[in-house]
A and B are shown apart, each in its own frame.
Chain A
Amino acid sequence: MKKTITYFILSICGLAMVIPFIWMLTTSVKSQLELNKGNVGFLPIEDQVTYEENGVIYNVSKVKTEGDSVYVHLFDEEMNRVSSYQKIALADIQSKQKVRLHFENFKTAFNKVPFRRYFLNTIFVSFSVVIGVLITGSLAAYAFAIMRFKGRDFIFYLFISMMMVPQPVYLIPSYVLLNNLGWIDTYQALIIPWIANIFTIFLLRQQFKTIPDELFDAARIDGCGRFKTLWKIVLPLSKSVISTAAIFGFIGSWNSFMWPLVMTDSPAIRVLQVGLSYFSQEASSQTALLMAASTFSILPLIILFLLAQKQIIASFASSGLKG
């Protein structure tokens, strides 16, 4: 009994969490006409009002009812208006409900602005950032964790204190800096400032420190140099932390919005989030198209999440324990 209540509450709350996504999906396959009529529930059901004349079936839009008769606009199958304010008998109009899924919304939304370009840009930027973060991160973490050198702790704490600074604080001076470098509206502006991640360095350092000293001694005796030790011993032993860092880097880069909004302008290098934001202003009344665009923008990360949910959740959970 107690278990049942627990499950019941969890289900209700779970439903509340996913309702926006469900509604996004159901709305993305509706016609704009239905939405404007106020048919905004979850089911993609359409009221189809038709009128048959000389064997041809017309779609009907009622204007005004007068006793037994009604003034209507008639439309053909493609919703082109055939006649206006035609007076017909109310009894001749047939009305039925029909499930219709407008999958064409996805295609329309995708082609309305260069979403293909935005996707490619985002993929390029995200992968570059992840690769950069892993390279700079494992090199620095290796030095911080294993090597002894002057100023090590000072530099490390300087790094950590930089991690505390929130993005909005350095956004404006970064713009000034990138502007002076001539990088505004280039891929460099989206990639280079992000190819070192202090959190990744921190995460990898913690992992590298757990590797027993004996392994390094053995490597040294065998004549294994520093870099070879990193490549052949340290990294293979740290696969799960590396994938954690990669996941964080990828999700962060894919979803970043404020930085690319400020640092880029032309559609040619616009990333998905910024493109989606512009699209939402351009097509603000096209609810169905906006939902379709939101759906295909979210989809890649949802798929990634479903494929690696255990790993992703564990990664996020570990960020709390160490923080």
Chain B
Amino acid sequence: MIKKKFDFGPYLYILPAAIIVIVFRLVPIILSFIVSFFDWTITGPGDFIGFKNYTLMFQDSEFWQSMLNTFYLVIFVVPISLILSLVFANFLNRIEKLKSFFRSIYFIPTVTSMVAISIVWKIIFNQQTGLANFFMSQIGIDPLAWLAESRGVFDLFLANFGIDFSQFITNLSNIFGISYNTLYMLLGGPSLALFCIIIVTIWKGLGYNTIIYLAGLQNIPNVYYEAADIDGANKITQFFKITWHLISPTTYYVLMMTTIVTFQVFSQIYLMTGPPIGGPLGTTKVIVYFLFDKGFGESNDLSYASAVALVLFAIILTLTLLQKKLEKKVHY
């Protein structure tokens, strides 16, 4: 038998992409592990400092506030976006005429740049010249400070009923010996300013999720519904007994994509909040802005920022692996 000559061809085809992927993805990821253990600034590498960046981070109240704000974003954006997009998709799936028209309308925010649209939303939420307060005045509601409001939404909501939320927090704080600010951040809910960011984030991603759901719905064979019709099940029963189960792989996809994307929110914070960015009182500072600010802001501490980035990576990786596990369980 003649031994075949080693064929380099396939490797040449992969080479251009591989160079880019290795140099600009793999190397930076390895580099960030290394950088996070050094005292590394823009001038170059410094001393090896071990886990110091990580211990500093876990003691940094600003880090925890950013984490909490990010969790607030995720907890509000993901379920609301999921439900709304499923509802939209169901309505769209029922009609024939104008279907593509409505689909396009819902989809426009997805293709437009976050920067331009953040500028528009910032002005919409402007206290004096914004559309939000204009609408409120038309229906006779007192204007709100929106992006300038640092009070939590639960606090604001309860205040409508004359409930003194801060008194409640003060009492709790005395009982448990936890600081007032910490308790307020945890129980007061996201600030109204962060809630504005939540609205914009939902609005931006809704079209994409709707399209994904619509594609999922169209894959469900009609025979199930015909059978259910014969059995006399109404539309709502049909939705919960058939659609909801058969659409679950799509739901997992939407759930994970929205969560991962929401963890990385940056542009809307950078453009809509402040000055200073992340304001008022740091209530809109999210984790990606926090690492951006640490790395490229005044302190210019690239190693500390790398440590934050790796924590973010760990969270997203855990969620992705969790999803893969859950997805296998629910696949129909």
Footprint of B on A, CB under 8 Å?
3, 6-7, 9-10, 13-14, 17-21, 23-24, 27, 35-36, 38, 40-41, 135-137, 139-140, 142-144, 147-149, 152, 155, 158-159, 162, 164-177, 179, 192-193, 195-196, 198, 201, 226, 251, 254-255, 257-258, 261-262, 273, 276-277, 280, 287, 290-291, 293-294, 297-298, 301-302, 304-306, 309-310, 312-313, 316-318, 320-321, 323
Chain B residues 14-29 with CB under 8 Å of chain A are 14, 16-21, 23-29
Cβ contact of A305, chosen from B18, B111, B126, cutoff 8 A = B111
B150 adjacent to chain A (CB < 8 Å): no
CA distance A204 to B286 in the complex (A): 35
Residues from chain A with a CB closer than 8 A to the CB of B263 are 166
Instruction: Tell whether, in the assembled complex, residue A313 and residue B32 are in contact, meaning their CB atoms are under 8 Å apart.
Output: no
CA distance A135 to B126 in the complex (A): 46
Given A35-B129, A147-B10, A302-B108, also A168-B26 (CB < 8 A): no
Instruction: Tell whether, in the assembled complex, residue A40 and residue B134 are in contact, meaning their CB atoms are under 8 Å apart.
Output: yes
Cβ contact of B131, chosen from A14, A40, A192, cutoff 8 A = A40
0 or 1 for each of B100-141: is its CB under 8 Å from A? (1 = yes): 101111111111111111011111101011110010000000
Q: 8 nearest interchain CB pairs?
A: A196-B20, A320-B212, A143-B13, A173-B28, A173-B31, A193-B24, A140-B17, A149-B10
CA distance A201 to B21 in the complex (A): 11
Cβ contact of B113, chosen from A13, A17, A273, A290, cutoff 8 A = A273
Residues from chain B with a CB closer than 8 A to the CB of A164 are 316-317, 320
Q: Quote the shortest CB–CB distance from A302 to chain B (angstroms).
A: 7
Instruction: Tell whether, in the assembled complex, residue B92 and residue A172 are in contact, meaning their CB atoms are under 8 Å apart.
Output: no
Q: Quote the shortest CB–CB distance from A161 to chain B (angstroms).
A: 10
CA distance A205 to B92 in the complex (A): 32
Given A14-B105, A162-B25, A196-B20, also A169-B32 (CB < 8 A): yes
Residues from chain A with a CB closer than 8 A to the CB of B106 are 13-14, 17
Q: Quote the shortest CB–CB distance from A130 to chain B (angstroms).
A: 15
Residues from chain A with a CB closer than 8 A to the CB of B24 are 170, 174, 177, 192-193
Given A165-B313, A302-B112, also A294-B9 (CB < 8 A): no
B64 adjacent to chain A (CB < 8 Å): no
Number of B residues with CB within 8 Å of any CB on chain A: 95
Known: A13-B88, A195-B20, A321-B215. 18 other contacts (CB 8 A): A10-B88, A17-B207, A35-B129, A137-B17, A147-B10, A168-B292, A168-B312, A170-B28, A193-B24, A280-B122, A287-B123, A294-B119, A298-B117, A313-B103, A316-B212, A317-B211, A320-B212, A320-B215
CA distance A100 to B59 in the complex (A): 57
Instruction: Tell whether, in the assembled complex, residue A20 and residue B121 are in contact, meaning their CB atoms are under 8 Å apart.
Output: yes
Q: Quote the shortest CB–CB distance from B275 to chain A (angstroms).
A: 9
CA distance A169 to B260 in the complex (A): 12
B173 adjacent to chain A (CB < 8 Å): no
Q: Quote the shortest CB–CB distance from A257 to chain B (angstroms).
A: 5
Q: Which residue of B lies closest to A180 (CB)?
A: B44
Instruction: Tell whether, in the assembled complex, residue B21 and residue A162 are in contact, meaning their CB atoms are under 8 Å apart.
Output: yes
Residues from chain A with a CB closer than 8 A to the CB of B154 are none
Q: Which residue of B lies closest to A320 (CB)?
A: B212
Instruction: Tell whether, in the assembled complex, residue B112 and residue A301 are in contact, meaning their CB atoms are under 8 Å apart.
Output: yes
Residues from chain B with a CB closer than 8 A to the CB of A19 are 131
Residues from chain B with a CB closer than 8 A to the CB of A18 are 105, 108
Q: Quote the shortest CB–CB distance from B37 to chain A (angstroms).
A: 13
CA distance A41 to B17 in the complex (A): 51
Q: Which residue of A lies closest to B207 (CB)?
A: A17
Instruction: Tell whether, in the assembled complex, residue B119 and residue A169 are in contact, meaning their CB atoms are under 8 Å apart.
Output: no
Listed by A's residue number, 22 A-B pairs whose Cβ atoms lie within 8 Å are A10-B95, A20-B121, A23-B124, A23-B131, A139-B14, A140-B18, A148-B10, A162-B25, A164-B316, A168-B292, A174-B24, A176-B302, A280-B271, A291-B120, A294-B116, A298-B117, A301-B111, A302-B112, A310-B100, A316-B107, A317-B212, A320-B215
